[in-house]
Every structure is written in C-alpha cells, then in structure tokens.
A and B are shown apart, each in its own frame.
Chain A
Amino acid sequence: MEKAVAFHWRGFRERYGLVGSKCDHCGRYFFPPRKICPSCRRLGKTREHRFSGKGKIHSFTVVRSAPDGFEIYAPYIMAIVDLEEGARVVSQVVDCRPDEVDIGMPVESCFRKIREENKSGLILYGFKFRPAK
C-alpha cells in the first residue's frame, strides 16, 4: 500500500546518513535513533550520532520470496550488521554474491535505492552495506 510522503520523509535523515543516537550517560549507541535511553530512562542524555558505516556481519540470509515492491530485486542478501560503535542494524548487502558472504565479514555502508513506491511514486533511498574495501 502506497504511503503518503511524510511517512517516508521523516526517516530521510536517519536512512540517508545512518544517523542514530548515543546516550552520553551510559555510552550506548542506538539505531534507529531513540529519544529515551532504555537503560538510563530519565537519567539518560541522548544525542544524534552519525555512524561511521563500518561493521561486521552478525548473521545473514538471502531473501528469494520478496514482499511488495521488492520483487525485481530478488534474490537479495539481508544481514544483521554489528556496527563498530556497538549498535546493530538490519540491511541489505550488495556488490557481492550470496556465497561470498559470511558471519564476521567486514562491511562498509553505501547509499542505494531501497525501492520505488511504483512507477509514478517516490524513489526511496537509504543505506546498504557492501564488502569493506
């Protein structure tokens, strides 16, 4: 179901720039950004943090049966990435074959198209990961 613009637009900053949060009170990093630190709650001091994009693969799969809007991209690799700061994300891994991916593989973020709403709708961009150069 196509969503109105605001639904996508409010996530541009975090999705284009891999921008999350850091709690200055306990030092934890979060992605997506959080206003409330789940460890510190009222004592927490969260602020914006732009992740370096460097990380390692924690687990991965190859999606072959795609949901709406992703059909043309199948098969695609999805992975949980341990970012070097300590937070985690789930994202696509590109520029490599499924048999080249393994747990522990170093990756770096890149800017790619996530999908198009449809032929006349918005083009949705965001971060993905590729093998670190």
Chain B
Amino acid sequence: MKRPKRDVAIIGIGSTNYGEHWSCGLKDMIAEAGLKALQDSGISGKDIELIIGGSMSSGMFVGQEHTGALFADYMGLNPKPAIRTEAACASSSVAMRVGYMAIASGLYDCVVVGGAEKMTDVYGSQATTALAGAMDRDSEAYFGLTFPGVYALIARRHMHRYGTTREQLAMVAVKNHLNAMHNPHAQYHIRITVDDVLKSPLVADPLRLLDCSPIADGAACVVLVPASKARKYSDTPVYIKASSQASDTLALFMRNDITVMNATVEAAKLAYQQARIQPKDLDLAEVHDCFTINEIVSCEDLQFCKKGDGGRMVEDGETEIGGRIPVNPSGGLKAKGHPVGATGAGQIVEIVEQLRGDAGGRQVAGAETGLAHNVGGSGSTAVVHILSRNKR
C-alpha cells in the first residue's frame, strides 16, 4: 500500500451498550449508535458523503441482507451512498479500512463507518451455525466443527507446544472482567476468579464457558474527516496513524502452524511500518479476545512478546491496566461483549475514549497511542489500526 494522499482523523464516536437487547432490533441499534456519533462529532448529516457499515450475518441472524442500505436509511442519511462490509468478526474494522481509504485517497471529505449485529433473535444452535460461517463451511463446519471448537484446537496445540496453562487462559478472562467493571457499555459487570473459569461448563475442551466471549447485540459508529479539517469539528481529534489488513486460509487446518495467526503478524508489521512506531511505543491495545486463547496468541503475533510467551505475559500482569502494555482495558470481547459485526468499530470507540482521557475508572494514564486488533474467523482476516492523539 502506498502512503496516503492525506491523513485521516476521527472526530466523533457513538456506541450502544452491548448485551441482550430483547426490545431492540437491528434498526434501533443502528439509529442509536449513529445518532450518538453524529452528535459527538458536531457535524451535520448533510455533510456526510459515504456510509460504510459492517455486519457479519444479518442474513442468518435476522433474515436481513442489504445492510448498507439499512445503515443509511436508519441513520437518516439517504440519499448518501452506503456500503456493507463483511469479514466475519472483523466486519466493522474492514469498514474502518474502507472509510480510511475513501478519505485518504482524497475522494471523500466526510465518512461515517460502523457496525452492528443482532444475535439474540435466533436460538443457541442457530447462532452457532451462523457463526460457523466464519470458518470453512465445506471442510470444517460440515463435519461438526464449531467456532469454539476451532479455537479449542488452537489452544490445545499452543498448550502442547509452549506449555501455556489452563490457568493462564483463565487469567485473561479474569483481567478483562475486572476492566469491564468500569465500562458502562460492557455486557458484564461482574468480577470472576480463575476458579470460576475453571469450574464453568466445558464448551469445546479445553475451552470453558468463561473462556468464550458472549453472544451479544450492539452497534458502534465512528465519524471520519481529513486530519487537516479535524480541529474544525473537534477539540479532541484522534488521528489514524495506521490502517492495515492481511489474509490467511479460511480453514485452520490448512495453515503451516496453527498457533500463529499469520494475518495478524502481517497486518501488525504493516501497521507499525505505516505509523513509524515499535510495539513498545503503544500505550494500550484492544485485542481480539473472542476466546481467551486468542488474546494470548494475538499478543505474541502483535509482537508484544515472543512466540509462546503470551501466557506468561498475562500471568505476570504485564497486560493489566497498570502494566507494561494494557490489553483490553474495555473488558475486551469477553466481558464487554462481542456483537460480531460491531466489534471492530467498538474497539475504535474505546481507544478514542482512552486517548481523549474519557475512560473513567478504566483510564490508562497518559494514553497517547493505541492499537486496535480485529480478527475474522479463526484468523482468516486480521485488521490493525493504530490511533494517536498526536497529529505527527
């Protein structure tokens, strides 16, 4: 990817709470997040030129496709053009990518990006079936593999190869639940212990219920403008220093090493290059902990530590809010919730709140630069964004 023609900034954010919203449908959540983002940005609806919304499977969850049009319609933004992006659980960070490219290329001056997912209008086994669409349907899901099952295969191999322990996996969930206590958007406001995790029911051995991010409803939205225009709208603009993406095989078993997510490795390298920083320059990161094992694998692949060291890293407290590299101060997917299509945009919302100093009880002190890492499927897509309070 070439250097952008111009830099891009975030001037507004909005999010629903994540949780089981029995009274809200997909349209209600889109309207809520969208309206909040527009109000936060101070921009007028008529200045918005393009809408990009991510949704993994509005079709299988609520029978609704054509979600781009839905976003534009229910945010009151017709006749502006709308695009739906889909990359499984990375749908809305891919939306961010497209929004970034639209402005960085000089073609658009104001873009709204976001994501939404309504997962509770289907029953458990139907949700499991829909989520299995993130894997290889013909050669993985066909034989009975589930999404937790895929990550369990990664966990088992990681534990075998590097000695990562069951307790270390549990510590990821414990930390994220603790962080979420201070996040009003989060689905869960309960503290858990390692023992709670180890006693929770098995879902796909060795992963237990409390290793798995929950089914949730939610929507999140972000407003983008060229960096040069940001101060016109916001006193606290946040600048996008890097936007990168990489791909890997759809099926886990086709990878060389199932304990490495090469898409994350490649996207991270590109992102650090674009932002001209090293991992140690980051103040915080929102990392894709769809299952506890993935926070560990991702910290390694994002170069926060050496391969195989991710378990020790969480055990030693390095990823706590006061630690060397705070990971998932929002509570992560585990405790904040994982309405799949909305998650990527939600991670951006968290980092912006942190960089603005608005994160309340979960604030990472003096945060200036943050990284958002969003994964689709078992690592078939990985998107990395690096945001900063500083323009340069």
**A residues neighboring B (CB under 8 Å):** 11, 15, 31-32, 58-68, 70-71, 73, 76, 78-80, 88-92, 98, 103, 114-115, 126, 128
Contacts and interface: CB of A to CB of B under 8 A. Distances in A.
Contacts of A65: 124, 128, 146, 148, 203-204
Given A32-B138, A78-B143, 16 more contacts: A11-B138, A31-B139, A58-B157, A58-B258, A59-B154, A62-B202, A63-B149, A64-B203, A66-B144, A68-B126, A76-B144, A80-B258, A89-B139, A90-B140, A98-B205, A114-B144
B156 A64 contact: no
A59 B156 contact: yes
Contact of B125 (A71, A78, A126): A71
Contacts, number: 102
Contacts of A73: 144
User: Which of A58, A67, A73, A98 neighbours the largest number of chain B CB atoms within 10 Å of its CB?
Assistant: A67
Given A11-B138, A90-B139, A68 B156 contact: no
Contacts of B126: 68
Interface in B228-267: 251-254, 258
Interface string B128-157: 110010000011111111101100111111
Contacts of B140: 90
B51 to A, nearest CB: 30
Contacts of A68: 125-126, 128-129
Contacts of B276: none
A64 B207 CA distance: 10
Contacts of A98: 205
Contacts of A89: 139, 253
Contacts of B154: 59
A78 B148 contact: no
Nearest to A32: B139
5 contacts: A58-B157, A59-B153, A59-B156, A61-B204, A68-B128
A61 B254 CA distance: 17
Interface of B: 124-126, 128-129, 132, 138-146, 148-149, 152-157, 160, 201-207, 251-254, 258
B59 to A, nearest CB: 11
A98 B205 CA distance: 9
A51 B152 CA distance: 26
B356 to A, nearest CB: 39
A114 B141 CA distance: 11
Contacts of A115: 144
Given A32-B138, A65-B203, A91 B143 contact: yes
B205 A61 contact: yes
Contacts of A90: 139-140, 143, 145, 153, 251-253
B144 A61 contact: no
A132 to B, nearest CB: 19
Contacts of A128: 143
Contacts of A78: 143-145, 149, 153, 204
A11 B143 CA distance: 12
Contacts of B201: 64
Given A11-B138, A60-B156, A78-B145, A67 B125 contact: yes
A58 B254 CA distance: 12
